[in-house]
């Protein structure tokens, strides 16, 4: 077996990463490791990271059942870069460790996809062999995000601005998937990219 193919799937918020990952899993049976899933695990009730968050922002950051109030935390970190950096310092090492553990169990698998929204921002490019970036027009991205997360235009823009510009990510990508058109068009691009040798 040649070198394992580890696809780092990234893009902007609400550009369609989950759609691409789902297709790769269903159509090709490729294992999907998702940074967002690990990040959610990091702040589960009773976790030391959730404890640190509550200690920093007070228990009002928790819901009545003790779980994290994500919208409230989002308001804090998306309007204050220092707080966002602090939160990432808590979560990113945990996420990196989860990837390492999962990859150790997948060493015999030819192709693995790691879905990492902050692949560039969190300096995780070293753990993948190629980078796929899902893009779409800014207006499309903002509209999708507003609809999905029930955000105002200003809140949606704030979250988009908290990530690297899509154009910058696309420049550093091995594969750029344009998710501006139909699902069929997106799937065709995925098929071609997967079949091209890394």
pLDDT tens over the chain, length 198 residues: 468 999 999 998 889 999 999 999 999 999 999 999 999 999 999 999 999 999 999 989 999 999 999 889 988 988 888 999 999 999 999 999 999 999 999 999 999 999 999 899 888 899 999 999 999 999 999 999 899 888 888 888 888 887 888 899 999 999 999 999 899 999 999 999 999 864
State whether CATH 1.20.1260.10 applies to domain 5-31+106-193.
no
Specify the pLDDT at position 198: 45
State residue 156's pLDDT score: 87
Residue 14: left if φ>0, alpha if ψ -120 to 50, beta else—which one?
left
Query: What is the location of CATH 3.40.50.300 in the chain?
Result: 5-31+106-193
The answer on whether 42 is annotated among ligand-binding residues is no
Was 19 annotated as part of a binding site? yes
Q: Is 167 left (phi over 0), alpha (psi -120 to 50) or beta?
A: alpha
Q: Is 16 annotated as a binding residue?
A: yes
Report d(CA 58, CA 27) in Å as an integer.
45
Q: Is 152 annotated as a binding residue?
A: no
The confidence score (pLDDT) of residue 2 equals: 64
Task: Answer yes or no: is 84 a known binding residue.
Answer: no
- Model-level pTM? 0.88
What pLDDT is recorded for position 1?
45
Q: CA 4 to CA 128: how far, in whole Å?
A: 10
pLDDT of residue 197: 61
Phi/psi at 10 (nearest 5 deg)?
A: -140, -170
């Amino acid at each position: 077996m040649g070198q394992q193919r580890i696809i780092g799937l990234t893009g902007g918020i609400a550009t369609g990463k989950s759609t691409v990952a789902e297709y790769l899993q269903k159509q090709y049976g490729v294992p999907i490791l998702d940074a967002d899933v690990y990040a959610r695990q990091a702040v589960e009730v009773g976790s030391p990271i959730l404890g640190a968050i509550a200690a920093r922002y007070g228990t009002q950051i928790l819901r009545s059942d003790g779980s994290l109030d994500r919208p409230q935390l989002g308001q804090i970190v998306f309007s204050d870069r220092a707080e966002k950096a602090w939160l990432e310092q808590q979560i990113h090492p945990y996420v990196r460790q989860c990837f390492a553990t999962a990859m150790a169990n997948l060493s015999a698998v030819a192709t693995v996809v790691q879905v990492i929204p902050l692949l560039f921002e969190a300096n995780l490019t070293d753990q993948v062999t190629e980078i796929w970036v899902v893009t779409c027009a800014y207006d499309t991205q903002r509209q999708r995000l507003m609809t999905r997360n029930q955000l105002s235009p200003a809140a949606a823009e704030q979250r988009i601005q908290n990530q690297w510009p899509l154009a910058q990510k696309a420049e550093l990508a091995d594969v750029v998937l344009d998710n501006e058109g139909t699902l069929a068009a997106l799937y065709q691009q995925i098929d071609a990219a997967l079949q091209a040798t890394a």
